[in-house]
Structure 1
Amino acid sequence: MLEAVEREWGGQSDLWIFAYASLIWRPEFDFAEERFATLHGYHRALKMWSRVNRGTPECPGLVFGLLPGGSCKGLVFRIPRHRVAAALPALWDREMPNGVYDPKWLRCRTASGQAKADVKALAFTLSKRSPSHTGVLSEDRYRQIFSDSCGRYGTTRDYAQLTYDKLRTLGIEDHALGKLLALVSD
């Protein structure tokens, strides 16, 4: 899939990445520019099973995915063309270790100074047909996951809280995520 993404990008311009969760607060690649962006047609949802990063096979955790419908506010990062050869494989190793996401090139509406512009950015989406899509989870199940699930990068709760806090710092309100976190507030 990485080769297909590289072919679609073409190598003739800088590469844009849409960030909607941990990439916002921990991008782990060098970028030349970041902009606020809105992606229409997808929304951020804590509905993807994580059996490595935020959970285990025995006690799966959750991570965010972009699911069809609605819109999502986040950031886009511009990676200069000459840095893509180093940045994209590292990003791929991080986001696609199990090939769970469905990478897509999507139009993001950005604000650059006074002007608005669309950029075509690589976004990691999740199909509702994926075996990693959770489907509907009860409040009790979210509480249990927030309480018990921990993987190589920490707990689902910490991941969700870090994302929520960074979004709020950026002036982005995610009411659905706030409601989930309120289930386990101390």
Structure 2
Amino acid sequence: MSHNTISLNQQRQPLDHLDSVWLFGYGSLIYKTDFDYLAAKPACIYGWERRFWQGSHDHRGTPEAPGRVLTLIEAVGARCAGMAYQVTPATFKHLDHREKNGYLRIFTPLHWLNETGEVQGVVYVASADNEAYLGPDTDAAIAAHIARSHGPSGPNSEYVLQLAQALRDMNQQDEHVFAIERELLKL
């Protein structure tokens, strides 16, 4: 699958018939909200965990030297905390462009962190069959890759450090993110 997924997302999952959609952010969408939203709430999804296994050719790296950003992998019993944003379908024109590098939209239940209840929401996931997928590596190797990567959105290390701080601010733990952060800080 091509790493530019804009038209694929629009074809396979039109959202124009909806008044609003809840979007789940688990990476930079937690701390970099460059889009309008109607409401925002801390939320989590079950059965998924974050991994720095996706290449970034367009934001935290270049086509010649992609950076490493997050995707989700399925994991039984896992819980991934993040932020949910209620947005209008028109917002997905911007979001599909922002998340175009191999990410496909999927619907999944979102569970509120600070209150009871759940709602169906959309999350962007980059699976192993997209051209930008880099796959697993050791924490040290991932951190070294991130330390040397830079793209139009800035240093790849900034992505990790801002996300780790945002998770701490939410009182949330993520062993993978914090392990990469520790290795990065050693460098």
Shorter-normalised TM-score: what interval? Answer: 0.7 to 0.9
Kept in 1: contact 2:16–2:89 (CA 8 A): no
Question: Counterparts of 1:4 and 1:139 in 2: how far apart (Å)?
Answer: 35
Q: CA deviation at 1:84?
A: 2.8
1:19 equivalent in alignment to 2:25: yes
Aligned residue in 2 for 1:121: 121
Question: Counterparts of 2:146 and 2:60 in 1: how far apart (Å)?
Answer: 10
- TM-score with structure 1 length normalisation? 0.85
Unpaired segments of 5 or more residues in structure 2? 1-8
Q: How does 1:81-160 map to 2 (within 5 A)?
A: 83-85=88-90, 87-96=91-100, 98=101, 100-111=102-113, 113=115, 116-160=116-160
1:168 equivalent in alignment to 2:148: no
Q: CA deviation at 1:180?
A: 1.1
Kept in 2: contact 1:60–1:145 (CA 8 A): no
Q: CA deviation at 1:112?
A: 6.0
Q: How many residue pairs get matched? A: 176
Kept in 1: contact 2:71–2:126 (CA 8 A): yes
Unpaired segments of 5 or more residues in structure 1? none
- Identity, in percent, stands at 22
Out of 74, 86, 103, the position equivalent to 2:82 is 74
Aligned residue in 1 for 2:71: 65
Residues 97-124 of structure 1, C-alpha deviations (whole Å, 9 max, x = no match): x4x11210111111464xx111111100
Runs of 4+ in 1 over 3 A off after TM superposition: none
